[in-house]
Amino acid sequence: MPVYYYIFLSATLFTIGVIGVLVRRSAIIVFMCIELMLNAANLLLVAFSKMHSQAIGATHPTAATDAQIFVFFSMVVAAAEVSVGLAIIVLMYRNVHSVDVNFLNRLKN
Amino acid sequence: MFGGVFIKNKAMCKYLAILGLLIVILVNCMELYSGESLFAIDTNNMLSFNSFNLVFITVAMVCTLIFFLLSGSDIEKVGANVSEYFALIFFVLCGVCLAATFNTLLILFIGIEIISIPLYILTGSDKRNLKSNEAALKYFLMGAFSTGIMLMGIAFLYGGNPEGSFYISSLNAGQGKMPVMIAIGLVFMLIAMSFKVSAVPFHFWTPDVYDGAPAVFTSFMATIVKIGGFIAFIRLFENSFGSVQPQWQLLIAIITAATLFIGNLTAVFQQSVKRMLAYSSIAQAGFMLLSIFALNEAAKEGLILYAAAYSLATIGLFAILIKMEDYTIEGFNGLGKKQPVLAVTATVFLLSLTGIPLTAGFQSKFYMLMAAVRDGHHQWLVIFAVLCAAISAYYYFKIIQAMFFKEVSLNTTSNNLLLASAETTSTFRGLLIFIAILIIVLGLFPWLLTDWLHYQ
């Protein structure tokens, strides 16, 4: 399959994520959309790694594996972010009994 | 630090942290001085240690040391888990070091994340305070969003790179037009880095987060973390997109102008000093963006100098602010009479932030403008920056005026001043004077710092 299919797929996922972050109001769903963005990028990385290995794999043997290792790193980072983020959301819920991001506007005044 | 498990005494944590930091600074200076490192670790060329990076790391560490010395006792007041706060600050510092020395996009990504994730926790560390919670959640959502954008940018850069590697030097292919995927990646990276350094279209989280976080951590966030973001920014753009500079220079120029304008203009209308400092940090970020705009030798010297001048002044100001109970400008009324040392040092810091001659702030702004002039393109930006610096004088001088020329209105602020006088020790005052002297010395002899760049 040409790499363009993957680019379109991950661009679509990424756009869904961005739109979700911008319009949804529940902090948890916003957070899920962010994860979607991260995973879209991961998918793209793996697709590109396959593309590079077909194109220049013979001369640059590390070209393909680099991105796949990168994906592992980004998954670990995402996991760390989830643990911190959910803790913050729980903290917020304990204080205001809601995870609505519209509550955040209170800080402005 | 993990020492906190064994040490029950809170003050002990602070001293342990200061000691650890001193050792690290010493080792760092040794490497800068002799060019030989204590441990030679093979990083597979993923990290680069040249004099620019090392000088910057030293500046960041010295600023952290001063931050610990000045505000260490205030960190103890935030909550019960003192040793964890120090540990998180050290994690952030580690991230700053990675962000300053990265050679591949992988290390850049990890460094930026190591900076961000502990900061979300520090922002929300005042657990009972609703404002702190809100700030943490907002910071977290915005930060994670920009991480997603950055990861997408990295993916596109990797895809567009014909060599298929993450080394930033291999992106720097040469003149000519950029491939489409590199261009998309560049825009994504620009957006993500602008989020991290709070440049204008992406600055909206900054005032709320700086206002909501406990003031000690705001001081840390506004200084060391911000200059860490800038060093990553300039290294990324210099090493990977330096050869195609004309194609993105206008974009940076517009961002810079908008940052300077909005930061300065909104700071004028703020009543709370803490919030005003948040906006002024956006405005100062605009000046630091000039270095990324110009991207030459003077810009690098200027960025180092700016990082030092801005961090020292802001840390000092925040340390004074923490001692106040009332964060509004009225809270500073009559400080000149009650606490002359605090007032005079605060005046030096404010003058330095404004960029009055004889202070480090003036020299650093001068270097930045010189870099932009030498670059030769988009000269309107230089004039615009000078005008914005003039606007900034208004709100900085408002505080000076409040301190020296306004009487205390007894019913509201007398309590506040009593509190302030009770809490400042002589070491605290001595340190403030030391920072003020440091700022003036850097203002008179900036080459004391910039010469280190050419040492090796």
With an 8 Å Cβ cutoff, are A44 and B124 in contact? no
- Name the residue among B127, B159, B163 with its Cβ closest to that of A48: B159
Tens digit of pLDDT for each residue in B324-349? Answer: 766 777 777 777 777 788 888 888 99
Give the least confident one: A87-91, B68-72, B232-236, B414-418.
B414-418
State how far the Cα of B283 lies from the Cα of B262, in Å rounded to an integer: 8
- H helix intervals, B42-104: 51-78, 82-101
Q: Which residue of A has its CA nearest to B181?
A: A7
Q: Is the pLDDT of residue A83 over 90?
A: yes
With an 8 Å Cβ cutoff, are A44 and B121 in contact? no
SS3 of B205-228: the string is HHHHHHHHCCHHHHHHHHHHHHHH
Q: Is the pLDDT of residue B2 over 50?
A: no
Q: Using a pLDDT cut of 90, give the percent of chain B over it.
A: 19
With an 8 Å Cβ cutoff, are B113 and A55 in contact? no
Chain-centroid distance of CA B194 in Å reads 13
Residue range B388-396: mean pLDDT, rounded: 89
- Name the residue among B120, B141, B158 with its Cβ closest to that of A45: B158
**Average pLDDT along chain B:** 82
- What 3-state DSSP class applies to B329? helix
Q: Is the pLDDT of residue B422 over 60?
A: no
Phi/psi for B203 (5° steps) reads -100, -10
- pLDDT attached to residue B3: 42
Identify whether A109 is part of a domain.
no
Q: Is the pLDDT of residue B411 over 60?
A: no
Residue range B222-226: mean pLDDT, rounded: 91
Q: How many domains does chain A have?
A: 1
The answer to whether residue B12 neighbours chain A at the CB level (below 8 Å) is no
Cα–Cα–Cα angle for B143, B321, B416, nearest 5°?
135
The answer to whether residue A16 neighbours chain B at the CB level (below 8 Å) is no
Contacts of B211 in chain A (CB under 8 A): 107
DSSP state of B367: H
The answer to whether residue B140 neighbours chain A at the CB level (below 8 Å) is yes
- pLDDT attached to residue B26: 74
Task: Give the gap in angstroms from C-alpha A54 to the nearest C-alpha of chain B.
Answer: 11
- pLDDT attached to residue B25: 75
Q: How confident is the model at residue B409 (pLDDT cuts 50, 70, 90)?
A: low
Contacts of A56 in chain B (CB under 8 A): 162-164
CA distances from B81 to A82, A84, B115, B137, B145 (A): 22, 16, 20, 20, 29
The answer to whether residue A39 neighbours chain B at the CB level (below 8 Å) is no
- pLDDT attached to residue A104: 64
B119 CB contacts (<8 Å, ≥6 apart)? B88, B92, B139, B143, B217, B221, B225
Tens digit of pLDDT for each residue in B34-90? Answer: 666 666 666 667 777 777 888 888 888 888 888 888 887 777 777 777 778 888 888
- pLDDT attached to residue B410: 53
Q: Which residue of A has its CA nearest to B153?
A: A41
Task: Give the gap in angstroms from C-alpha A1 to the nearest C-alpha of chain B.
Answer: 16
Is the complex ipTM higher than 0.90? Answer: yes
For CA atoms B61, B65, B70, B72, give the dihedral sign: positive
The answer to whether residue B35 neighbours chain A at the CB level (below 8 Å) is no
The answer to whether residue B204 neighbours chain A at the CB level (below 8 Å) is no
The answer to whether residue B202 neighbours chain A at the CB level (below 8 Å) is no
The answer to whether residue A83 neighbours chain B at the CB level (below 8 Å) is no
Q: Is the pLDDT of residue B5 over 60?
A: no
Domain CATH number, residue A64: 1.10.287.3510
Residues spanned by the domain of A14 = 3-104
- pLDDT attached to residue B148: 93
Among A36, A46, A81, A93, most B C-beta atoms within 10 A, so best to mutate, is A81
Q: How confident is the model at residue B33 (pLDDT cuts 50, 70, 90)?
A: low
Q: Using a pLDDT cut of 70, give the percent of chain B over it.
A: 87
- pLDDT attached to residue B42: 62
Tens digit of pLDDT for each residue in B356-384? Answer: 888 888 989 998 998 888 887 788 889 99
Q: Give the pair of three-digit tokens for residue B415.
A: 């309590």
Q: Is the pLDDT of residue A15 over 90?
A: yes
Q: Is the pLDDT of residue B284 over 80?
A: yes
The answer to whether residue B46 neighbours chain A at the CB level (below 8 Å) is no
Q: How many Å is the Cα radius of gyration of chain A?
A: 18
Residue range B282-304: mean pLDDT, rounded: 88
Q: Is the pLDDT of residue A58 over 90?
A: no
State how far the Cα of B207 lies from the Cα of B209, in Å rounded to an integer: 6
- H helix intervals, B324-379: 335-338, 340-354, 360-375
Domain-by-domain residue ranges, chain B?
A: 2-454
The answer to whether residue B395 neighbours chain A at the CB level (below 8 Å) is no
With an 8 Å Cβ cutoff, are A38 and B130 in contact? no
The answer to whether residue B187 neighbours chain A at the CB level (below 8 Å) is no
CB contact at 8 A, B408 and B334: yes
